[in-house]
Amino acid sequence: MKTKKELTCIGCPMGCLVSVELEDGAIGEISGNSCPHGKEYAEKELTYPERTLTSTIPVDGGEIRMVPVKTALDIPKDKIFEAMAQVRKMRLTAPIEAGNTVIKNIAGTGIDIIATRTVNVGVWI
């Protein structure tokens, strides 16, 4: 059975509308992309979708109350909610260095959550 999927590519700033023909679940013709990123994005999105997870975690004793964090690499899209449940349970204590791992192996993916900002010890007013 032939079907058609349309995706908005996020591989570059163009945001092309990419059309993918599927036959019995197998990827066929891909069209509409204006650069190679569109084809790569469509193939990956339909076979193994992944995302970078970004969030914040509360910090005790820091100059700011929250530290921004993200996955070191993309994680499977179907692990996002499980990963966020783990992030929501976390609380960190200053100091925290940007780039440091704050959660190892998030949601069993083998990927770590890292701090994206340094938080020094301080009093938040």
Q: For 54-115, which CATH superfamily applies? A: CPE0013-like (3.10.530.10)
The residues spanned by each domain of the chain are 2-47, 54-115
**What tokens were used for 62?**
């820091």
Side chain identity at 75, as an amino acid letter? I
Quick check: 90 and 103 in contact, CB under 8 A? yes
The distance of Cα 28 from the centroid of its chain, to the nearest Å, equals 27
- pLDDT tens readout for residues 79-125: 999 999 999 999 999 999 999 999 999 999 999 999 999 999 997 66
Instruction: Grade residue 25 by pLDDT with cuts at 50, 70 and 90.
Output: confident
Q: Where residue 37 falls among pLDDT bands split at 50, 70, 90?
A: very high
